[in-house]
Amino acid sequence: MADGENNRAMTPAARCPGMSYTDLLDLDTRQVPEFLREESLLELTDAPLAADRYTSAEFAALEDEKMWPNVWQFAAREEDFPEAGDTVVYENAGKSFLLIRQEDGGVRAFYNVCLHRGRKLRTQSGFSKELKCPFHGFTWNNDGTLKEKPCPWDFQHLKEDKMSLPELRVDRWQGFVMISEKQDIAPFKEWAGPATAHYDRWRLDECYTAAWIARVIPANWKVTAEAFMEAYHAVVTHPQILAFTGDANTRYDLYGDHMNRAITPSAVLSPHVAHLHDQQHILDSLVAFATQGEKGGGPRRPGSRFSDTEDAGASADISDPVMARKLTAEANRKTFGEMSGRDFSDISDTEMTDNFTYNIFPNFSPWGGFIPNIVYRWRPHQDPDHCLMEIRILMRGKPDEPKPKSPPMHLIGEDEPFASAGHIIGAGLASVFDQDMANLPFVQDGLKASANKEVQLGSYQESRIRHFHQTLDKYLSA
Ligand code: FES
Ligand SMILES: [Fe+2]
């Protein structure tokens, strides 16, 4: 390619040969929502990215100054702090925020900082009758108004009406509590864009956090997040899932500045192993993955995204090219319908089977569809070479039962594998994360050692990464 040509913005046109995700929708046994059929691409360049975006302290400082304060951040799930007085301490990019459930069920968010001499008011989430600073005892009510200043005779210069805790913007969407430091930011749905409407169907507000794990990863938060923005790496990094994952058939869609998605078909063969073309083999591989590490049953793992074994393992008609999908979808309708007390009989095969990996800029990935949904969040941690990656699994609750409170976040030690949390999210899924983690520290090291200090991206399969950086640049140059 001639110099400069890859700086021209174009819509990527080439696709993996063979059946596409859209073709699969034509074979669905139910009506498929139109927003799954519609492709949404934007014009992007093919120019390389600078490696120091991931490694330099200056770049991270620019993100802290220009990006994080000006976006909506996923700070908590509603079920993390259900009762009046429950609090969540949410920290990111060097700042600490305090969310408090109000008497009327509302949520307020404050800077978690005492207005006397700056001590953090709380260091961890939990119940709060009032907000009493542990240093000298300045105290605020849970609504942020000042309650008491010890020795008031010494603070006659501090006027009550100026002593309420500074607040952040709060918005609530699908059970997620979003906060922003930017007072004049558009409401969350307007800011994130019309693709938020896809969730009107999936209703993650009906779900609760069934599992929540996290680990500090020795790689930049963007390096880590980007490992979950493309399915391109599956063929080499996750060979065990090719027997039931349409990695190269993944659809990538981009929406405005702040949202994009990958839809990776499940219960189909990867185009990389198309010669296997055996529907029973697909089903058997999927069941083996779902039940990995389980000998003789046992209690259901809280974060399992899979159906009960005997349902998914039904014998397949190998002449039907999507029989494994149909059987998997049907097993999921039954298992997750019973678990949630809901009727999924009209829900499409794709929404009962596939992986809807949506991302909302900058660091929030709430999956869509009707099987238990993964939610990722990535935050910088201490320096540009580390991040905290969190994984939640949301389960749909029964309509007539109160949602359980979230379990505490299970923090995996930095020297421990995700496999150590296999009893929470399942050994198969944990092994996939460990495979991802086997790359990330070496990506971080390699970016620093690079001779040309450039990163190259595929035009289509890595379009979400480019989209993400394009939006990041808009914030950094604003
Ligand atoms: S720093 Fe909080 S009361 Fe002094
Ligand atoms: Fe991966």
Identify any residues that bridge with 389 across adjacent strands, giving them in sequence order.
215, 378
Ligand 1 and 120: CB distance under 6 A: no
Closest atom of ligand 1 to CA, residue 137: 3
The rounded Å distance from CA 390 to ligand 2 centre is 15
What is the residue-level pLDDT of the chain in tens, covering all 478 positions? 444 668 888 898 899 988 899 999 999 999 999 999 999 999 999 999 999 999 999 999 999 999 999 999 999 999 999 999 999 999 999 999 999 999 999 999 999 999 999 999 999 999 999 999 999 999 999 999 999 999 999 999 999 889 999 999 999 999 999 999 999 999 999 999 999 999 999 999 999 999 999 999 999 999 999 999 999 999 999 999 999 899 999 999 999 999 999 999 999 999 998 887 788 888 888 888 887 766 544 456 666 777 765 555 555 566 788 899 999 999 999 999 999 999 999 999 999 999 999 999 999 999 999 999 999 999 999 999 999 999 999 999 999 999 999 999 999 999 999 999 999 999 989 999 999 999 999 999 999 999 999 999 999 999 999 999 999 999 999 9
Q: 122 alpha carbon to ligand 1 midpoint, in Å?
A: 12
Domains and CATH numbers, the chain: 5-53+199-476 (3.90.380.10), 73-180 (2.102.10.10)
Q: Whose CA is nearest to atom 4 of ligand 1?
A: 136
Whether ligand 1 lies within 6 angstroms of the CB of 116 is answered as: yes
Q: State CA 47 to chain mean position distance.
A: 27
Query: Residue 114 CA: which ligand 1 atom is closest?
Result: 2
